[in-house]
Structure 1
C-alpha cells in the first residue's frame, strides 16, 4: 500500500471565517494541538468532536477560487438549512441526481445528501 488517507485540506482567502462556517455547518470544532496560542496566519484544523468525521485543514491562500473543484465534500444535511448558514444552491436534487450541489461562502463546491426521514 503506497499511501493511507490522512486529512482533507480546503483553501480559503479568509481561512478563519471559513473554518468557523464549516464548524457551524458540520458541528465541528477547532482543534489545537498544543496549549499555545495558534497564530492567526496558520492553517486552521477543524475536527469532529465525536470522532466520526475526518480532520479538515482550512488553509490560507492569497487567490480567490476561479474554477470548479476537482475534489469536494459530500455531507448529509438539509439544503435549506445550509442556505440559511450562507451556502449557495447551485443545483437542487432532481430526477437526474440524488443530491443538491452547493457552494460554501468562498465558492467551494460540496454536495448535500438528504437523509431519509
Structure 2
C-alpha cells in the first residue's frame, strides 16, 4: 500500500514560497543547505540560495515533506488538490497567515479559502474539539 511521502508545489519563486509554507505550518522548516547541496547548486550555475529551483520544507515529526519546484508557466486555474489547515482560533490564524503573505479568497460558514503568495489555494478550518 502506498504512503504519502511528498507534496510538490509548482511555483515561480520556490525559495519564497517555501519560506511562506515553513512559517505557516507548525513544525515545518526549510531544509538546511549543507556543503554537498551548495556544491550541487554551484555546479548548476546557481550561486544564490534564493535562485534554487527546488526547495524542500521538512516536518519535524516525520509527516509529508513539501517540495517547491520552479516551473516556467504561471498558475492559471483553481488547484485540483489543495491542503486543508486546521486552527483552534481561525480569526487569529487568518491574521497570522495574511501577515505572512496569504490572501483570503472566500469566506464560507465552516471554513475560509485562502491562497499563498503564489496563488495556490488552501482552506483553513476550525479545530474540532475531541470528545
TM normalised by structure 1 equals 0.82
CA displacement at 1:84 relative to structure 2 = 1.6
Query: Hey, what does 1:64 align to over in structure 2?
Result: 74
CA displacement at 1:110 relative to structure 2 = 0.3
Which deviates more from structure 2 when the two are superposed, residues 28-37 or residues 75-84? 28-37
Which deviates more from structure 2 when the two are superposed, residues 32-41 or residues 69-78? 32-41
CA displacement at 1:93 relative to structure 2 = 3.3
Which protein has the bigger helix share? 2
Bigger RCO of structures 1 and 2 (CA < 8 A, at least 6 apart): 2
TM normalised by structure 2 equals 0.74
Partners of 2:4 and 2:64 within 8 A in 1: no
CA displacement at 1:31 relative to structure 2 = 2.1
Which deviates more from structure 2 when the two are superposed, residues 31-40 or residues 100-109? 31-40
Query: Hey, what does 1:82 align to over in structure 2?
Result: 97
Map 1:88-103; keep pairs closer than 5 Å.
Answer: 88-94=103-109, 98-103=110-115
CA displacement at 1:86 relative to structure 2 = 1.1
Query: Hey, what does 1:42 align to over in structure 2?
Result: 53
Greater C-alpha radius of gyration: 2
Query: Hey, what does 2:47 align to over in structure 1?
Result: none
Name the CA distance, whole Å, in 2 between partners of 1:11 and 1:80: 25
Name the CA distance, whole Å, in 1 between partners of 2:83 and 2:62: 15
CA displacement at 1:75 relative to structure 2 = 0.9
